[in-house]
Amino acid sequence: MSVPTWLPLEANPEVMTKFVSSLGMKPSWQFGDVYGLDTEMLSMVPRPVCAVLLLFPITEKYEAFKQEEEERLKTQQLNVPTDVYFMRQTIGNACGTIGLIHAVANNLKHLEFESDSALKKFVDRTCKMSPQQRGVSLETDESIRVTHESSAQEGQTEAPSIDEKVNLHFIAFVNVGGQLYELDGGKPFPILHGKTSEDTLLEDAVEVCKTFMARDPQEVRFTIIALSKDSY
């Protein structure tokens, strides 16, 4: 069976905010760029921050690290709490939308939704499913697919064709129960990065983002986006 493929989503905070708004999330929280990693630049990001998205290049160095990480974690006892909402990616180029779903689904207590929100309905419908079942369920969610498609064509750069190979990938960082989780639909399970808090999520997530950058110091194709209360 061929894998369904969508147009890739651009790392554009305005497009992302419009995307989730179109799916019924109220705009009291919005996505915005993180322009730098030093203390001064991070202090410019509106607070609180409830999720951080990272767009990064998939390189040979990253693929080697990912394989090593997976093998190492398989030998450990992984006890992921059931309240961590995690889904596998079963759709090509859907990592942007899955990153948004990860950001939203793990922050329902903070976010507000319209009564007929297609995004909230999807999370509610899939909350008891396995990560794989959630990914498959996304394949048949017409509201999210159509919104993704229109959003993918709204960016500042021309969207590549569906068949064009995209070597950039979105992941999300969230705080669940005081723990920092990396949620990547291309991995078999969430990655725990230690303790965090509502006050320090941005800084803690950025420290992990720095390790991605350190693995590929020649690369410049990194983008960090925060989901913050109120607008930029």
Catalytic residue ranges: 95, 169
Q: How many residues does the chain have?
A: 232
Place of tokens 């969230």: 174
One-letter amino acid at 95 equals C
The DSSP letter of residue 212 is H
Place of tokens 């808090």: 197
Place of tokens 């992941």: 171
**Residue 151 backbone dihedrals phi, psi, to 5 degrees:** -70, -40
29: enclosing H helix or E strand: strand 29-33
DSSP 3-state assignment of 9?
Answer: coil
Asked whether 28 and 230 are in contact (CB, 8 A), the reply is yes
